[in-house]
Chains A and B, each alone.
Chain A
Amino acid sequence: MTTTTAITPSRWKRFRNSYLVYSFKRDWIAQFCLAIFLCILLGAVCAPWLAPMNPYDLTQINILNSELPPIWVDGADALFPLGTDAQGRDLLSTILYGARVSLIIGFGAVMLQALIGVTVGLLAGYLGGRIDAFLMRLADIQLSFSTLMVAIIVGALIKAVFGGAVYSDYAVWLLVLIIGLAEWPQYARTVRASVLAERSKEYVDAARVMGYRDRRIMFRHILPNTLSPIFVISTVQIANAIISEAALSFLGLGMPETQPSLGSLIKSGFDYLQSGSWWITLIPGAVLVVLVLVVNLLGDWLRDVMNPRLYKG
């Protein structure tokens, strides 16, 4: 009862004084990774304004400009700083637009995964018993299907029912659906584990004794207390989703070449590696690797910071 006169700090002040910010200020790797990630994110979001040309606009493309090298190589054209691809599209613009597609799919898929996985994990962990057993077997079954298999099945179904044109029109959303459906069990398992830990705490008993309904207890009381693991796993899942999308696109199951993502760019350039046009594959490849690496490193840092055994909050 002695410290009660202290003014309660605002939310922003509390955030600024938090351990998260404190350890961020001390970790140059995390700062570096966040900076790179923000650069790529900014480039992707602002692609329509930043990119020298619009790779989706066929009138801006001249096939005579195809396979021009980046400017630091002989025979380059100053108009195309990173060179051009086989169709004569400016590689810098294509990469910016491609990163945009990759990030949309990555975030979208993770949002879908989180929606399904968090709901399933909450229900399974809180209700327990048969519902828990059923939902977790469902998650096991889902995990035993690889993303590739889901992609082949969904892709084949859509193409068979609606035709290939519809498929490429909605390719972004289909990939969000495929990767979202294929990889929600990781969320479900993580959330269920922390719900089980929270459910046995007395504040949940106190809420039940108050007569609150299950839905209120699950979403208002337990869910906010499982946010840190959800947050941590989300970074890893975004990196995974971006890689999954790239892999699917590389195999021809993903984005069409008219609307390239980083993965389909790598694929389209792959055929020209032997003819000496290495930049069409390697530059988007490098961007993909850097993007996934920084997201993963940020995730690792976040996991270390939020590990409740290292830091009690």
Chain B
Amino acid sequence: MNAVAAQPSPATTSQNRAEAESLLEIRGLYKHFPLADGFLEQLHFEKGRLVRRNEQVHAINGVDLSVQRGEALCVVGESGCGKSTVARLVMGLLSPSAGEISYAGQRIDNMRGKRLLPYRQRMQMIFQNPYASLNPRMTIQQTLEEPLRFHHPDWTTPQVQDKVADVMASVGIDPEWGKRFGHEFSGGQRQRIAIARALAVDPEFIVADEPISALDVSIQAQVLNLLMDAQAERHLTYLFITHDLAVVEHFGTRVAVMYLGTVCELADTRSLFARPKHPYTQALLSAIPRLDDDRPEHVRLSGEVPTPVHLPSGCVFHGRCPHAMERCRQEVPQLIVADDGNQVACHAVEEGRL
């Protein structure tokens, strides 16, 4: 009817498309944990005087990420770099020290209670340890029914039971298991149950925090395939945390590489593995042994991983980086978009030295 509305300007179209595509937006995220909770534990003697020192663990230091609808964004990095903290912040298990998290255009990091409830259905999480993620006092049936009864109070018992049977079938667990308790199952079976619980409420976005690293190697592939099948069938979007680069290559559409609470490189999986730009990513990738080795030889990192308590100035990687220069010690590198559309936070790349 309205010609103006039917033909919006090109600027708004591209903006709209960007908004429609990005499901989760993380902007300027910070998370600090106090090292000592109590007032008394914060007191220290220094040069004969009692001072109060409020030290903090800088777990996340300015992370910007967006997860596009339908993709599987993998987050990699060494232990303690803040991967789980990002996951827990996104799911609202922790609240950020600074920054914003939006889901489908809505800011969710400051939502509470009832208003958050719809997002609890749309976003779900799968945990690392299947031995701890099922309530030991609940049967499998109870574990799977509870979310449905909670989110759909108007459903009748047969409706709930049908849905449970459906979701059990879709993750390949026997309906007979319903009467039993979590401890009667193996790790892989438990992880299937945990996945069924997450899928029961029909989420569109799933955060998976190392969902296969606690499992037997023989089971890992099965569970990974289950997650990929679920993605194809239910059009899921994943934020997938792992430290296994082989899994990333197999599973991820894009990869975010984290180091000490910052994202240092964000790229398409294929181009990241083909042409890693950030010195840390290069070192990380060169550590995988390969048959078709046509890359430069193993980059050996010197130095220790700094603690997130005393954060290095400038680039957090400068103590171990072979390309570090004076600027790296002073200025924090920002994520810049390279010519191929991938993002890197490194002065050397920006200056064209690398």
A residues sitting closer than 8 Å to B (CB atoms) are 1, 4-5, 8, 201-203, 205-212, 216, 221, 224-225, 313
Distance between Cα atoms of A203 and B183 in the complex (Å): 13
Task: Let me know if A202 and B150 touch, CB within 8 A.
Answer: no
Task: Let me know if B117 and A206 touch, CB within 8 A.
Answer: no
Task: Let me know if A211 and B151 touch, CB within 8 A.
Answer: yes
Task: Let me know if A201 and B120 touch, CB within 8 A.
Answer: no
Q: Which residues of B contact A209 (CB under 8 A)?
A: 91-93, 120, 123-125
Query: A4-B174, A8-B180, A211-B151 known; A202 and B132 CB under 8 Å?
Result: yes
CB B159 to nearest CB in A, in angstroms, measures 18
Task: Let me know if A225 and B135 touch, CB within 8 A.
Answer: yes
With a 10 A CB-CB cut-off, give which of B125, B135, B189 has the most chain A CB atoms. Answer: B135
Q: Which of B92, B132, B201 contacts A201 (CB 8 A)?
A: B132
Distance between Cα atoms of A202 and B131 in the complex (Å): 9
CB B188 to nearest CB in A, in angstroms, measures 10
B172 and chain A: residue at smallest CB distance: A1
Interface: B128 (CB within 8 A):
yes
Q: Which residues of B contact A201 (CB under 8 A)?
A: 132-133
A312 and chain B: residue at smallest CB distance: B183
18 extra A-B contacts, CB within 8 A, seeds A1-B189, A203-B133: A1-B174, A4-B174, A4-B177, A201-B133, A202-B127, A202-B132, A202-B133, A205-B88, A205-B93, A205-B127, A206-B194, A207-B135, A209-B91, A209-B123, A211-B121, A211-B150, A212-B150, A225-B136
CB A225 to nearest CB in B, in angstroms, measures 6
Task: Let me know if B93 and A210 touch, CB within 8 A.
Answer: no
CB A277 to nearest CB in B, in angstroms, measures 55
Q: Which residues of A contact B304 (CB under 8 A)?
A: none
Distance between Cα atoms of A201 and B128 in the complex (Å): 11
Q: Which residues of B contact A202 (CB under 8 A)?
A: 127-129, 132-133
Interface: B179 (CB within 8 A):
yes
Q: Which residues of A contact B133 (CB under 8 A)?
A: 201-203, 205-206
Please, could you name 18 A-B residue pairs with CB atoms under 8 Å apart, sorted by A?
A4-B176, A4-B177, A8-B176, A202-B129, A202-B132, A205-B93, A205-B127, A206-B125, A206-B133, A209-B91, A209-B93, A209-B123, A210-B150, A210-B201, A211-B120, A211-B150, A211-B151, A225-B135
- How many B residues have CB within 8 A of the partner chain? 34
CB B88 to nearest CB in A, in angstroms, measures 8
Distance between Cα atoms of A211 and B92 in the complex (Å): 10
Task: Let me know if B177 and A205 touch, CB within 8 A.
Answer: no
Query: A1-B174, A210-B201, A211-B150 known; A203 and B120 CB under 8 Å?
Result: no
Q: Which residues of A contact B147 (CB under 8 A)?
A: 210
Q: Which of B121, B176, B194 contacts A5 (CB 8 A)?
A: B176
B142 and chain A: residue at smallest CB distance: A220
The 6 A-B pairs with the shortest beta carbon distances in the complex, nearest first, are A211-B120, A202-B133, A224-B137, A8-B179, A202-B127, A202-B132
CB B165 to nearest CB in A, in angstroms, measures 15
Task: Let me know if A206 and B127 touch, CB within 8 A.
Answer: yes
Distance between Cα atoms of A208 and B94 in the complex (Å): 11
Q: Which residues of A contact B129 (CB under 8 A)?
A: 202
Q: Which residues of B contact A207 (CB under 8 A)?
A: 135
Which residues 107-143 of B have a CB within 8 angstroms of A?
116-117, 120-121, 123-125, 127-129, 132-137
Distance between Cα atoms of A123 and B292 in the complex (Å): 58
Q: Which residues of B contact A211 (CB under 8 A)?
A: 116-117, 120-121, 150-151
Distance between Cα atoms of A206 and B147 in the complex (Å): 10
Task: Let me know if B179 and A203 touch, CB within 8 A.
Answer: no
Distance between Cα atoms of A8 and B88 in the complex (Å): 36
Q: Which residues of A contact B116 (CB under 8 A)?
A: 211
B135 and chain A: residue at smallest CB distance: A203
Interface: B197 (CB within 8 A):
yes
